[in-house]
Structure 1
């Protein structure tokens, strides 16, 4: 566990946190997240802060002690996502590569004989800024990253040819082929 778990978690004015039946509900202008708190942890929610503590007689020697920092990090991440949604950008680079949103489906032409269709989860917002630029927004960092990884898996970076889906403007060092 990090020493951060000893510090209170402070949140902004527009956020409402409630804790009942070992479930923490965090509500804000961008949505709501519910986090299940394990039985061996206690959460003390006050006006604009909360404190997490271990409810185990073994104390620091408990096997559950490392979870204190993990759950705290999940709560802080949820509060950040409620304040400002997480954003990831995907760039399609390749001849004829393009994308479009049709309802809740992201349709991409990636050089295959057929278009690739990916269903967008209801908790995420996907915007095609340009045909070759996709932005993914969501309040849960894990869901945003999982969706981006799923889309990138359709065309992984190839160092010799190009034609790939690049997350957040990351480039691939091009290698020289045979001469």
Structure 2
């Protein structure tokens, strides 16, 4: 069994784990998440600690994946996940209009992005976007989709970037 799968997952206070034949679901203060069962993987719950075990002859790779998915779901429903985006460029700004995110990214029209279910969007300033949610995959997917509207360009670095992302700039054409 992989090293990742051997590590137990402890459930914080207020988090419930339900194990069924078709999958697992985790319920906590930030919501409910569920995933399908992986072949040959069984999860046991004992005194608030979940442990992963593999069936005889099952693939090792599913054990580590199941443990990582379970740990991400537990962290998501207890603490939640957040991703921060920065807008770099003259006139690039973001604002909220209800549940819709209005982006001014240098196009002839504003880009309007509707927040999907389970995701909350915030704009602490005109050049910052905070994406929050319980599902790690969905938070990352929404951040990538917003970044995809205007990815950072390699000459001036203008565009939508992840917070802390380093953009290696190219040298301009010489005359």
Same fold (TM over 0.5): yes
Q: Secondary structure at the match of 1:175?
A: coil
Asked if the contact 1:18/1:45 (under 8 Å) is kept, the reply is no
Matched, 1:86 2:81: yes
How far is 1:170 from its partner?
1.7
TM-score w.r.t. length of structure 1: 0.89
Aligned length: 174
C-alpha distance in 1 between matches for 2:39 and 2:154 = 48
Aligned to 1:19: 19
2:23, 2:101 → 1: CA distance? 33
Q: Which runs of 4+ in 1 moved over 3 A?
A: 173-176
Q: CA RMSD in A?
A: 1.6
- Take 2:114 and 2:36, find their aligned partners in 1: how far apart are those partners? 27
Alpha-carbon distance change, 163 to 6 in structure 1, aligned in 2, over 3 angstroms: closer
Q: Give the distance between the partners of 2:160 and 2:20, measured in 1 at CA.
A: 43
1:117 aligns with 2:105: no
- Pairing 1:171–2:166 present: yes
TM-score computed with the length of structure 2 as normaliser: 0.91
Unaligned regions of 5+ residues in structure 1, if any?
none
Where do 5+ consecutive residues of structure 2 fail to align? none
Residues 87, 138 of structure 1: 8 Å contact kept: yes
Residue 134 of structure 2 corresponds to which residue in structure 1?
Answer: 139
